[in-house]
Amino acid sequence: MRVAVIGGGGREHTLVWKLSKSPLVDEIYALPGNGGIEEIAECIDIKANDTEGILKFTKDIDIVVVGPEEPLSLGIVDLVGKYRGFGPVKDAALMESSKAFAKDLMGRMNIPTAKFDVCRVKEEALLKIKGREFPFVIKASGLAGGKGVFMVENESEAKRKIEELMVERALGGAGKEIVIEDFLKGEEVSILAFTDGKHFLPLIPSQDHKRLLDNDKGPNTGGMGAYAPVPFLSDDDVESIIDRIFEPAVYGLKKEGIKYKGVLYAGLMITDDGPKVLEFNVRFGDPESQAILPLMQSDLMELILATIEERLGEMRIDFNNGYATCVVLASSGYPGKYEKGKEITGLEDVKDAVIFHAGTKRVEEKFFTNGGRVLGVTAMGDTLKDSIEKAYTEAEKIHFDGVYMRRDIGRRVGSKQ
Binding site for ligand AMP (CB under 6 A): 114, 137, 139, 149, 181, 183-184, 188, 210, 220, 267, 278-279
Nearer Cβ to ligand AMP (92/143): 143
Nearer Cβ to ligand GLY (225/414): 225
Residue 351 gets the label, from left (phi > 0), alpha (psi -120 to 50) or beta, of alpha
DSSP category for residue 244: I
- Greatest C-alpha distance within the chain: 61
List the single partner that 114 binds among ligand GLY, ligand AMP, none, CB under 5 to 8 Å by kind.
Answer: ligand AMP
Site string for ligand GLY, 156-195 (x = CB under 6 A): ----------------------------------------
List the single partner that 288 binds among ligand GLY, ligand AMP, none, CB under 5 to 8 Å by kind.
Answer: ligand GLY
List the single partner that 299 binds among ligand GLY, ligand AMP, none, CB under 5 to 8 Å by kind.
Answer: none
Q: Which of 288, 283, 286, 276 is nearest to 103 (CA)?
A: 276
Nearest approach, Cβ of residue 97 and ligand AMP (Å): 12
Nearest approach, Cβ of residue 40 and ligand AMP (Å): 31
Nearer Cβ to ligand AMP (32/267): 267
List the single partner that 184 binds among ligand GLY, ligand AMP, none, CB under 5 to 8 Å by kind.
Answer: ligand AMP
Answer yes or no whether residue 70 interacts with ligand GLY by CB under 6 A. Answer: no
Give residue 104's Cα distance to chain centre: 22
Of the candidate residues 196, 208, 299, 408, the single one contacting ligand GLY (CB under 6 A): 208
Q: Which of 17, 59, 31, 88 is nearest to 258 (CA)?
A: 88
Q: Which of 199, 196, 172 is nearest to 309 (CA)?
A: 196
In 143-299, alpha helices (H): 155-162, 235-241, 247-255, 288-292
Q: Which of 242, 233, 291, 290 is nearest to 265 (CA)?
A: 242
Nearest approach, Cβ of residue 95 and ligand GLY (Å): 13
List the single partner that 369 binds among ligand AMP, ligand GLY, none, CB under 5 to 8 Å by kind.
Answer: none
Nearest approach, Cβ of residue 322 and ligand AMP (Å): 26
List the single partner that 285 binds among ligand GLY, ligand AMP, none, CB under 5 to 8 Å by kind.
Answer: ligand GLY
DSSP strands (E only) in 16-55: 27-32, 42-43
List the single partner that 286 binds among ligand GLY, ligand AMP, none, CB under 5 to 8 Å by kind.
Answer: ligand GLY
Nearest approach, Cβ of residue 132 and ligand AMP (Å): 12
Please, how many CA atoms are within 13 Å of residue 346, restricted to the half-sphere of its CB? 15
Nearer Cβ to ligand GLY (119/324): 324
Nearer Cβ to ligand GLY (306/354): 354
Q: Which of 64, 30, 60, 61 is nearest to 47 (CA)?
A: 30
C-alpha separations of 112 from 108, 215, 272 in Å: 11, 27, 12
List the single partner that 206 binds among ligand GLY, ligand AMP, none, CB under 5 to 8 Å by kind.
Answer: none
Q: How far apart are CA 206 and CA 47, in angstroms?
A: 29
Strand ranges across the sheet with 274-281: 200-202, 187-195, 262-271, 274-281
- Contact status, residue 136 vs residue 181, Cβ threshold 8 Å: yes
Q: What is the CA radius of gyration of the chain?
A: 21
Binders of ligand GLY among 280-319, rule CB under 6 A? 281, 285-286, 288
What residue ranges bind ligand GLY (CB under 6 A)? 208, 223, 281, 285-286, 288
